Structure 1
Amino acid sequence: MRYIIQTFILVFFFSVAKAQETPQRPFGQQKDLFATPKLVVGVVVDQMRYDYITRFWNHYGDDGFKKLISEGFNLRNNHFNYIPTYTAPGHASVYTGAAPETHGIIGNNWYNKFEKEYVYCVEDSTVEPIGTNDEAGKMSPHRLITTTVADENRLHTQMRGKTIGVGIKDRGAVLPAGHTANGAYWFHGKNEGKWITSSFYTQQLPQWVQNFNSSGIADSYLKPWTTLADINTYIESGIDVNIYEGGFDGKADTGFPYDLEDLKDQNGGYDIIKDTPYGNSLTTDFAIAAIDGEQLGKDNDTDFLTISYSSTDYIGHNFGVNSKEIQDAYLRLDQDLARLLKSLDEQVGEGNYTLFLTSDHGGVHVPAYLESVKIPSGYFDFDKLKEDLNIFLSGMYQNENLIEHISNNQIFFNYDEVWDMEVSSEELQQEITHFLLQYEKINKVFTRNQLQSASFSEKIASAVDNGFNQKRSGDIALVLKPSVISYSRTGSTHGSGNNYDTHAPLIFFGKGIKAGNSLERTEIVDIAPTISALLGISFPNGATGRPLYMVFDK
Structure 2
Amino acid sequence: MRKKKRTDIQHKILCAVLLTLVTASAGAQTAPKRPQMVVGIMVEGLSQDYLDLLHNHFTDGGFKRLMRDGATLSNVDYGPGVDAAAATAIIYTGAAPSVNGIPAEYVYDRERRRSRSILLDTAKIGNFTNETYSPAAILVSTLGDEVRLDAAGTGWVYSVAPDPAQAIIMTGHAGNSGFWINDHTGSWATTTHYKDVPRSISSRNYRRPISTVLDTLKWEPLLTPAQYP
Which TM-score band applies after superposition, normalised by the shorter structure? 0.7 to 0.9
Q: Partners in 2 of 1:216 and 1:46 — Cα distance?
A: 28
For 1:40 and 1:227, locate their aligned partners in 2 and report how far apart those are by CA, in whole Å. Answer: 28
Which residue number in structure 2 is paired with residue 175 of structure 1? 169
Unmatched segments (≥5 aa) in structure 2? 1-27
Taking a change above 3 Å as real, the CA distance of residues 194 and 101 of structure 1, as seen in their structure-2 partners, is: same
Q: Aligned to 1:119, what secondary structure does the other structure show?
A: strand
The aligned counterpart of 1:165 is 159
- The superposition leaves residues 232-288 of structure 1 with CA deviations (integer Å, 9 ceiling, x where unpaired) of 232x3xxxxxxxxxxxxxxxxxxxxxxxxxxxxxxxxxxxxxxxxxxxxxxxxxxxx
RMSD: 2.6
Instruction: Choose from 78, 94, 108 the match for 1:81.
Output: 78
Which of these residues, 194, 204, 209, is aligned with residue 187 of structure 2?
A: 194
The 1:65/1:135 distance shift into structure 2, 3 A limit, reads: same
TM-score by length of 1: 0.33
State the match for 2:22 in structure 1: none
Residues 1:210 and 2:192 are matched in the alignment = no
Aligned to 2:170, what secondary structure does the other structure show?
helix
Letter of the 2:40 counterpart? G
Instruction: Compute the displacement of 1:135 (Å).
Output: 2.3
CA contact (8 A) 1:88 1:121 kept: no
Match of 2:226 in 1: 232
Shift of 1:152: 2.3
SS, match of residue 180 in structure 2? strand
For structure 1, which segment, 103-112 or 31-40, has the greater mean C-alpha deviation from structure 2 after superposition? 31-40
**CA deviation string 1:168-207 (max 9, x = no partner):** 11111101211111111111143x32111111112x7331
Could you say which residue in structure 1 is the equivalent of 2:95? 98
- Asked if 1 retains the 8 angstrom alpha-carbon contact of 2:187 and 2:209, the reply is no
4+ runs deviating over 6 angstroms = none
Pairwise mapping of residues 385-534 of structure 1 onto structure 2 (< 5 A)? none
How much has 1:222 moved relative to structure 2? 4.1
Deviation for aligned residue 1:97: 0.3
Query: Which residue among 32, 36, 39 is the counterpart of 2:37?
Result: 39
The answer as to whether partners of 2:90 and 2:97 remain within 8 angstroms in 1 is yes
Deviation at 1:78, TM superposition (A): 5.3
* Structure with the larger strand share: 1
Q: Name the amino acid aligned to 1:163.
A: V
CA 52–145 in structure 1, closer or farther in 2 if over 3 Å, else same: same
Alignment of 1:40-439 (within 5 A): 40-70=38-68, 72-75=69-72, 77=74, 79-113=76-110, 117-130=114-127, 132=128, 134-136=129-131, 138-190=132-184, 192-202=185-195, 205-214=197-206, 216=208, 219=213, 222-234=216-228, 236=229
Structure with the greater alpha carbon radius of gyration: 1
Say whether the 8 Å CA contact 1:82–1:99 is kept in structure 2.
no
What is the deviation of 1:117?
4.5
Contact kept in structure 1, 2:177 and 2:197, CA below 8 Å: no
Instruction: Give the number of the structure with larger relative contact order, counting CA–CA contacts within 8 Å between residues 6 or more apart.
Output: 1
Measure how far apart 1:230 and its partner are: 2.4
Give the aligned length.
200
The separation in 2 between residues aligned to 1:144 and 1:232, in whole angstroms, is 45
Deviations 1:33-88 (A, max 9, x none): 33311121111112221222112112333442123334x21416253422322011
For 2:78, what is the secondary structure of its paired residue? coil
- 1:223 and 1:116, CA in 2 relative to 1: closer, same or farther beyond 3 A? closer
Q: Which amino acid aligns with 1:193?
A: G
Letter in 1 for 2:138: L
Displacement of 1:159 after TM fit?
1.7
Q: TM-score, normalised by structure 2?
A: 0.76
